[in-house]
């Protein structure tokens, strides 16, 4: 790491994983998983444009930009976006629709649930798609994401740092989560989103994409949405992800990756070459 490389840098698993185009499936999967925590869903829906189709695309674009800066930005850039997000969240409250209680959107439980939804989704999609990752790489990715958790205000020491710890976290959370009305509405709209005219092809692709994303969810999560949690769906989703990954790699790198991801890939290759040179010299 270094000031110019931000939270991760060459040699990190994060830089090896996050630029892959197939991970857009993981980003959408994360939203569906995050929506299963009622307070997280209510706090988001009551304080954002999430439920307003006309403004939802702007919010999605801002989220994508935040993830990009957090992944590839300099230390100064990451601190700037993190400070803005923490300040915004600190001002927001939500209403618990079960009890009528008012709660803070930046409660640690809510922030941790959102964070883990991202980590689990990106890692699961990457591994099933065939991105080269060992078990140690997977644990390293989860551990590295503790730095991302700190950006939104979490204490890294309280955040799961391995695949096993992440598995235990979800096992402990499942009894207190379910698909509230707003979550089910979000799932329904995913299959027929309101899109600007210039993005109309996305609307045509939405049913197929939605089916794939839902199929990548854990079986217990699909059942909470009232959908089948069949092993055959898992197999079909994995095959589809592998196909997407292989297809994307038939595209030249200059088109396949974003400018930030291309820079990260170049720096990573230079880092690996330096390590190889050092190993030979020693």
The reply to whether 4 falls in a domain is no
Determine whether 269 is exposed, middle or buried from the number of CB atoms within 10 Å of its CB (0-12, 13-18, 19+): exposed
The reply to whether 83 falls in a domain is yes
pLDDT of residue 52: 67
Among the listed residues 5, 138, 126, 24, the one whose alpha carbon sits nearest the alpha carbon of residue 75: 5
C-beta of residue 94 within 8 angstroms of C-beta of residue 42: yes
Look at the chain and report how many structural domains it folds into: 1
Q: In whole numbers, what is the pLDDT of the chain averaged over residues?
A: 93
Average pLDDT, integer, range 34-57: 82
The reply to whether 57 falls in a domain is yes
Other C-beta atoms closer than 10 Å to the C-beta of 153 total 14
C-beta of residue 153 within 8 angstroms of C-beta of residue 147: no
At 33, is the pLDDT very low, low, confident or very high (cuts 50, 70, 90)? Answer: very high
Say which residue, 52 or 172, is predicted with more confidence. 172
The reply to whether 278 falls in a domain is no
- Give me the residue label for tokens 């009528």: 100
Other C-beta atoms closer than 10 Å to the C-beta of 251 total 11
Domain that holds residue 190: 13-273
Other C-beta atoms closer than 10 Å to the C-beta of 60 total 16
Query: What single-letter DSSP state applies at residue 10?
Result: T
Q: What tokens does 148 get?
A: 């991302």
The reply to whether 252 falls in a domain is yes
The reply to whether 5 falls in a domain is no
Among the listed residues 55, 72, 98, 58, the one whose alpha carbon sits nearest the alpha carbon of residue 17: 72
Cα 140 to Cα 146, 149, 201, distances in angstroms: 10, 15, 37
* 188/182 Cα distance (integer angstroms): 10
- With a threshold of 0.85, does the pTM exceed it? yes
The pLDDT tens digits for 189-241 are 899 887 777 777 778 888 999 999 999 999 999 999 999 888 888 999 999 99
Residues 6+ apart with CB under 8 A from 157: none
The pLDDT tens digits for 91-138 are 999 999 999 999 999 999 999 999 999 999 999 999 999 999 999 999
Cα 132 to Cα 12, 123, 212, distances in angstroms: 13, 11, 21
């Amino acid at each position: 790491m270094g000031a110019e490389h931000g939270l991760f840098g060459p040699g990190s698993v994060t830089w090896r994983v996050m630029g892959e185009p197939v991970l857009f499936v993981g980003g959408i999967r994360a939203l569906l998983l995050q929506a299963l925590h009622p307070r997280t869903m209510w706090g988001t829906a009551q304080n954002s444009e999430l439920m307003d189709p006309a403004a939802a695309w702007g919010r999605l674009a801002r989220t994508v930009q935040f993830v990009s800066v957090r992944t590839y930005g300099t230390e100064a850039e990451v601190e700037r976006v993190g400070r803005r997000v923490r300040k915004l969240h600190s001002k927001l409250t939500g209403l618990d629709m079960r009890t009528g209680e008012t709660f803070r959107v930046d409660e640690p439980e809510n922030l941790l649930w959102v964070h883990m939804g991202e980590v689990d989704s990106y890692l699961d999609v990457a591994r099933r798609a065939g991105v080269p990752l060992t078990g140690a790489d997977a644990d390293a990715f989860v551990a590295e994401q503790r730095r991302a958790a700190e950006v939104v205000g979490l204490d890294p020491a309280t955040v799961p740092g391995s695949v096993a710890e992440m598995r235990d976290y979800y096992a402990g959370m499942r009894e207190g989560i379910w698909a509230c009305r707003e979550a089910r509405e979000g799932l329904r709209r995913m299959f027929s989103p309101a899109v600007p005219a210039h993005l109309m092809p996305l609307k045509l692709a939405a049913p197929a994409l939605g089916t794939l994303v839902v199929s990548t969810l854990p079986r217990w999560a699909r059942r909470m949405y009232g959908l089948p949690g069949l092993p055959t769906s898992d197999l079909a989703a994995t095959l589809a992800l592998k196909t997407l990954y292989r297809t994307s790699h038939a595209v030249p790198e200059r088109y396949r990756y974003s400018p930030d991801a291309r820079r990260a890939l170049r720096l990573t290759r230079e880092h690996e070459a330096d390590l190889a040179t050092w190993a030979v010299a020693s």
